[in-house]
Structure 1
Amino acid sequence: MASHAQAQWWKRAPVDFEECADAAEKAANKTEKTAQLADCNAKFAGRRKPGGGYSYYDFLQDRTFDIAGPNPTPEEQKKIDESYTAYLAKQRRSNEAAQATARQQREQQEQQVQQLQQVALRTEAERVPMPVERPKVQQAVGQRKGAPCTKGSFSCEWPRLSESLNELKKLFNPAPSKPAKKG
């Protein structure tokens, strides 16, 4: 056992995720392999790009950033954090705009409902006739409203006489009665 431990002195540590993952693939069993891959993820944030260099995926922004090495430098991390702050501000403005638009649409819908209700009420009022007081016997043509009527004059007596004649006609010509129904 001592000879095996002494033989590892020349092995170097992996320099990036890909080297670490290659070493994990050679693990003895699945459990050890999974544990080593988790360790690789914890040690290295960046992933090797095909053309060279590294990229860092920020899942909070759903975006990748180019970085110089296998892990972001403090300056690169600062830029990633600033980008995230800008991303959050943009999301907040977008949400506020969406809420304002939704509020405006609700107000417009409420106004439309009110207008429809007013139209419906007006239409209903036009369909149902308002009770009208029975007109009084009009004064003769040519008489001014409120002008005194000279008793005995034809223009003052005619409306009363006409009404009396109509009542006499009704007495002598009663409305025909309906024939009895045979059941």
Structure 2
Amino acid sequence: MLFVFASRRAALVVAAAGFFLLTPLHAHAQWWKRAPVDFEECADAAEKAANKTEKTAALASCNAKFAGRRKAGGGYSYYDFLQDRTFDIAGPNPTPEEQKKIDESYTAYLANQRRSNEAAQAAAREQQEQQAQKLQQVALRTEVERLPVPVARVPVPVERPKVQQAASPRPKGAPCTKGSFSCEWPRLSESLNDLKKLFSPTPSKPPAKKG
């Protein structure tokens, strides 16, 4: 944490005084009659420099000495470009207590940025997973559609054996076809009955009892 704050302050100092270190040495001579109390007073005095080079160097010096800027209603404001935020301060430069609050705000800013990045990454992963599931479902549905549709088997009718119907007796009085079974059967039946009587002995009557 101390390293972050030290790097942050170093970045601010380098950004503010970088151009000031590149200007000629003679431009850093006292060009005001008294020390300015804030950036605005320092910038007004810099406008009176002899030439453009000295004016540019003087403005860079003002920016390095004063971090705050005057507010229209009084007081000063400090803009922290690292977190793109403006803070109200009492004087032309932040006090140690004000600087501590600014640093704490920067720490919270970094934490929020980290959480936002993690949330964005999680949302991106979830979206990728959903897209992968959709593609998998489409591929599965396509594969199912490619499978051949089973053909329903038509049952083969089983041919049952024909039952031969018995010949019905010929009704009486109906014309008889010579040689047909219905015509010859009555005559054969009578002959069989005669044979049965011939070979079957007639039962003898028992003798009568005497009274």
Q: Give the TM-score taking structure 1 as reference length.
A: 0.57
Quote the offset at 1:40 in angstroms.
0.2
Q: Using the TM superposition, name which of 43-52 and 157-166 deviates more.
A: 157-166
Of the candidates 65, 77, 91, which is equivalent to residue 87 of structure 2?
Answer: 65
Q: Using the TM superposition, name which of 23-32 and 131-140 deviates more.
A: 131-140
Secondary structure of 2:182's aligned partner: helix
Residue number in structure 2 paired with 1:152? 179
- Unpaired runs of 5+ residues, structure 1, are none
Secondary structure of 2:74's aligned partner: coil
Quote the offset at 1:50 in angstroms.
1.1
Cα distance between partner residues in 1 of 2:102 and 2:160: 87
Q: Where does structure 1 differ by over 2 angstroms across 4 or more consecutive aligned residues? A: 4-12, 106-183
* Residues 60-81 of structure 1 deviation map (CA, whole Å, 9 limit, x = unaligned): 1111111111001111101111
Quote the offset at 1:116 in angstroms.
4.4
CA RMSD of aligned residues (A): 24.8
Cα distance between partner residues in 2 of 1:149 and 1:85: 127
Cα distance between partner residues in 2 of 1:49 and 1:18: 11
- C-alpha distance 97-157 of structure 1, shift in aligned 2 (>3 A): farther
Q: Is the 8 A contact 1:16 1:44 kept in 2?
A: yes
Q: Is the 8 A contact 1:45 1:70 kept in 2?
A: yes
Quote the offset at 1:98 in angstroms.
0.7
- C-alpha distance 25-88 of structure 1, shift in aligned 2 (>3 A): same
Give the paired residue count.
Answer: 177
Q: Give the TM-score taking structure 2 as reference length.
A: 0.50
Which one has the largest radius of gyration? 2
- C-alpha distance 139-42 of structure 1, shift in aligned 2 (>3 A): farther
* Residues 108-156 of structure 1 deviation map (CA, whole Å, 9 limit, x = unaligned): 5445545544554554554999999999999999999999999999999
Percent same amino acid at aligned positions? 91
- Unpaired runs of 5+ residues, structure 2, are 1-25, 146-152
Quote the offset at 1:11 in angstroms.
3.4
Q: Is the 8 A contact 1:57 1:64 kept in 2?
A: yes
Q: Is the 8 A contact 2:27 2:54 kept in 1?
A: no
Q: Is the 8 A contact 1:53 1:68 kept in 2?
A: yes
- C-alpha distance 171-134 of structure 1, shift in aligned 2 (>3 A): farther
Q: Is the 8 A contact 1:140 1:155 kept in 2?
A: no
Cα distance between partner residues in 2 of 1:46 and 1:177: 160
* Residues 83-103 of structure 1 deviation map (CA, whole Å, 9 limit, x = unaligned): 11111111111111111111x
- C-alpha distance 171-11 of structure 1, shift in aligned 2 (>3 A): farther
Of the candidates 86, 91, 96, which is equivalent to residue 74 of structure 1?
Answer: 96
- C-alpha distance 31-117 of structure 1, shift in aligned 2 (>3 A): same
Cα distance between partner residues in 1 of 2:175 and 2:27: 137
* Residues 20-79 of structure 1 deviation map (CA, whole Å, 9 limit, x = unaligned): 000000001000000000000011000111111111111011111111110011111011
- C-alpha distance 119-83 of structure 1, shift in aligned 2 (>3 A): closer
Cα distance between partner residues in 1 of 2:40 and 2:210: 108
Secondary structure of 1:71's aligned partner: coil
Secondary structure of 1:66's aligned partner: strand
